Amino acid sequence: MKQYDIVIIGGGPAGLAAAVAAFDAGCQSVLILERDHCLGGILNQCIHNGFGLHTFKEELTGPEYAERFVRQVQERNIEYKLSTMVLDISPDKVVTAVSRNEGLLELQAKAVILAMGCRERSRGALNIPGFRPAGVYSAGTAQRLVNMEGFLPGRRVVILGSGDIGLIMARRMTLEGAKVLAVAELMPYSGGLKRNIVQCLEDFDIPLYLSHTVVDIQGKERVEGVTIAQVDERRRPIPGTEIHYECDTLLLSCGLIPENELSKGIGVDLSPVTNGPVVNEQLETNVPGVFAAGNVLHVHDLVDFVSQEAANAGRAAVAYINGKKVQQNAVPVTFEGGVRYTVPAAIRPEGVEDSVIIRFRVGDVKKNAVVKLLLNGELVLRKKRPVMAPGEMEELKLTRQQLEQYPDLQTIHITVEEA
């Protein structure tokens, strides 16, 4: 069986950044396994700009951003296998994969980095009534059809869900000559970035109906119409508020779910909120030597944070194979005030190199808020946030120096309060 120090599952931005950082930290036995026929992950279909503002201080398209990391991988001669789908990872880190060229592969890894990204919530998971005609697509599938395969999936379009992919596809379909009639969003706020609401809907006069959902899809062979209705605070449709659209396409942009079948198979603990692995400050799961980064861990808003996080996972995996052990118990990160989860979920101060970034999301829109981080009940960080929204990731940076002030650290607590 071929052996590698680090096997990385997924060649998207997370897998690429993890591989480069692991190599630069001194590990040359790194392998990336990617099921698609090219590296780059979901970025290959994101041909709009807006990527890399933090990392490169430039506005790049998705493929341009991916290309910069692919080049770094190639310059270092890091090995990767394309068209290779990982089927299983055993707890002792034997990776089983099937490759178009090499058939069934079994590889022994010392450390594994999970970087499989996420998938879109499907119609089945959404329970939308009506027939099952052609013309109902997830927004990401439509994006791939338009941007990579050269097909326009429809001409008159309604979009359910205002996550970033839905917003971006509203603009994309409009630019390709389709008429986007409306975007309906179940929640009273959008799940997407503010900049995407402005640039993708408002600039093209596409109406956004908050607190609305699809209550019927008409058409037997092909979508012929879609009816949306307003919902009450318990998300039940309000009779009499229906709006009907004659259209041939419904796009669904109703959330992303981390691709965690492999993680479950190894015995990795998953968070019920993110559906991604529960990790410590080194992005290591409960299975020693198995790390996670990128959208498989929690769904990110910006790819720059994916690359940053994955580089940390790459370095941590190298420390692990070099035998660097942290004996300290982890202190769980607790929270209140509408915070839904944190990554990492627990911190061992000794495992923090210079600093640890704690990322989280809130469950509701908050205005004029202040985020506080307390160690053993004492205020250590305070950050004013004029607006916080569920669609945008928040972060706090805690330094090792700050942690060292509390040698008997018992609690790490985050609260969001009104300023």
Ligand X SMILES: Cc1cc2nc3c(=O)[nH]c(=O)nc-3n(C[C@H](O)[C@H](O)[C@H](O)COP(=O)(O)OP(=O)(O)OC[C@H]3O[C@@H](n4cnc5c(N)ncnc54)[C@H](O)[C@@H]3O)c2cc1C
Q: What values do phi and psi take at 131, rounded to 5?
A: -75, 180
Q: Binder to ligand X among 4, 21, 50, 271 (CB under 6 A)?
A: 50
Contact track, ligand X, 223-242, x by CB under 6 A: --------------------
Asked if 35 touches ligand X (CB under 6 A), the answer is: yes
Decide whether 35 or 348 has the Cβ nearer to ligand X: 35
In the numeric block, which tokens belong to residue 238?
A: 């309000």
Report the residue count for the chain: 419
Q: Binder to ligand X among 143, 190, 213, 271 (CB under 6 A)?
A: 143
In the numeric block, which tokens belong to residue 254?
A: 């109703």
> Which amino acid is located at 132 in the chain?
R
Q: Which stretch binds ligand X (CB under 6 A): 8-16, 71-79, 102-110, 272-280?
A: 8-16
Q: Which stretch binds ligand X (CB under 6 A): 27-35, 215-223, 229-237, 352-360?
A: 27-35
Q: Which stretch binds ligand X (CB under 6 A): 109-117, 216-224, 278-286, 348-356?
A: 109-117
Q: CB count, 10 Å around CB of 228?
A: 24
User: Least CB distance from residue 372 to ligand X, whole Å?
Assistant: 28
Q: Give the whole-angstrom CA distance, residue 129 versus residue 123.
A: 10
Strands 249-252 and 378-388 turn out to be: unpaired
Q: Give the whole-angstrom CA distance, residue 132 versus residue 223.
A: 8
Secondary structure E strands in 46-124: 49-51, 60-61, 79-81, 84-89, 94-99, 103-114, 118-120
Got the DSSP string for 261-317?
A: HHHHHHT--B-TTTSSB---TT-B-SSTTEEE-GGGTS--S-HHHHHHHHHHHHHHH
Asked if 309 touches ligand X (CB under 6 A), the answer is: no
Q: Which stretch binds ligand X (CB under 6 A): 30-38, 122-130, 243-251, 396-404?
A: 30-38
Total number of residues binding ligand X (CB under 6 A)? Answer: 37
Q: Binder to ligand X among 4, 8, 15, 331 (CB under 6 A)?
A: 15
Q: Which stretch binds ligand X (CB under 6 A): 13-21, 149-157, 233-241, 315-323?
A: 13-21
In the numeric block, which tokens belong to residue 35?
A: 């099921």
Contact track, ligand X, 240-279, x by CB under 6 A: -------------------x--x-----------------
User: Least CB distance from residue 130 to ligand X, whole Å?
Assistant: 25
Find the residue with minimal CB distance to ligand X: 12
Q: Give the whole-angstrom CA distance, residue 122 versus residue 119.
A: 9
Asked if 41 touches ligand X (CB under 6 A), the answer is: yes
Short-list 236, 12, 42, CA closest to 141: 42
Decide whether 61 or 399 has the Cβ nearer to ligand X: 61
Asked if 8 touches ligand X (CB under 6 A), the answer is: no
In the numeric block, which tokens belong to residue 14?
A: 């997370």
Q: Binder to ligand X among 6, 14, 173, 226 (CB under 6 A)?
A: 14
Asked if 140 touches ligand X (CB under 6 A), the answer is: yes
Asked if 165 touches ligand X (CB under 6 A), the answer is: yes
Q: Which stretch binds ligand X (CB under 6 A): 106-114, 162-170, 349-357, 411-419?
A: 162-170
Decide whether 211 or 308 has the Cβ nearer to ligand X: 308
Q: Give the whole-angstrom CA distance, residue 341 versus residue 259.
A: 18
Is residue 111 within 8 Å of residue 290, measured between CB atoms?
yes
Q: Which stretch binds ligand X (CB under 6 A): 264-272, 298-306, 345-353, 357-365?
A: 298-306
Short-list 82, 160, 90, CA closest to 120: 160
Strand partners, 378: 375
CA angle 151, 219, 234 (to 5 degrees): 100
Largest Cα span, the chain: 67
Asked if 51 touches ligand X (CB under 6 A), the answer is: yes
Question: What crossing angle do the helices spanning 13-24 and 62-75 adopt, rounded to 10°?
Answer: 30
Q: Binder to ligand X among 157, 178, 182, 306 (CB under 6 A)?
A: 306
Q: Which stretch binds ligand X (CB under 6 A): 29-37, 104-112, 184-192, 393-401?
A: 29-37
Asked if 281 touches ligand X (CB under 6 A), the answer is: no
Sign, CA torsion 52/57/61/65: negative
Asked if 42 touches ligand X (CB under 6 A), the answer is: yes
Q: What values do phi and psi take at 15, rounded to 5?
A: -60, -40
Contacts with ligand X, residue ranges (CB under 6 A) = 9-15, 33-36, 41-43, 46, 50-51, 85-86, 115-117, 140, 143, 164-165, 168, 259, 262, 294-296, 300, 302-304, 306
